[in-house]
Structure 1
Amino acid sequence: MQHKMKTSRAAAKRFKVTGTGKLMRNKAYKRHILTKKSTKRKRNLRQPALVDATSVKTMKKILPYL
């Protein structure tokens, strides 16, 4: 009997797949100690970013059904 692969739930909550199949992630450094960061920098951190090409293969392995 074939077993289903388990999705890493931690990763599933952190990544979304775009329409073209690329992985989107949220940027780090936006949680605390925000007073010393410029408004421009904080605004830039709101935008999601694409997962780097070098990490995609690993990510797809732990997110088989995403």
Structure 2
Amino acid sequence: MPKMKTRKAVSGKVRLTGTGKLKHARCGRRKLMSGKSPKRKRQLRRPAFIEGGLESVFKQLMCCH
């Protein structure tokens, strides 16, 4: 059976942490920042983690079983 190809769109946006969690950047920080409160902008700087059933799907797309 041939090797599975890594989905480059996913691998560019998601990182695998040392404990096996999938970390990604939050959306909403590219434009229209002047209308957002400082608290909201500060919270958007923190990374988000993929949890639940989607985690196994993303790991399969990244070929990191």
Aligned residue in 2 for 1:36: 35
Whether the aligned pair in 2 keeps the contact of 1:23 and 1:51 (CA below 8 Å) is: yes
Segments of structure 1 that go 5 or more residues without pairing to the other structure are none
Aligned residue in 1 for 2:20: 21
CA RMSD of aligned residues (A): 1.4
Deviation readout 1:8-66 (Å, 9 max, x if unpaired)? 00100100111110100110111101111001100110111111212101101111048
What residue identity is the alignment partner of 1:45? Answer: L
Give identity over the alignment, percent.
35
**Higher mean C-alpha deviation, range 33-42 or range 52-61:** 52-61
Segments of structure 2 that go 5 or more residues without pairing to the other structure are none
**Higher mean C-alpha deviation, range 29-38 or range 49-58:** 49-58
Q: Number of aligned pairs?
A: 65
4+ residue runs of structure 1 moved beyond 6 angstroms?
none
Aligned residue in 2 for 1:4: 3
Aligned residue in 2 for 1:62: 61
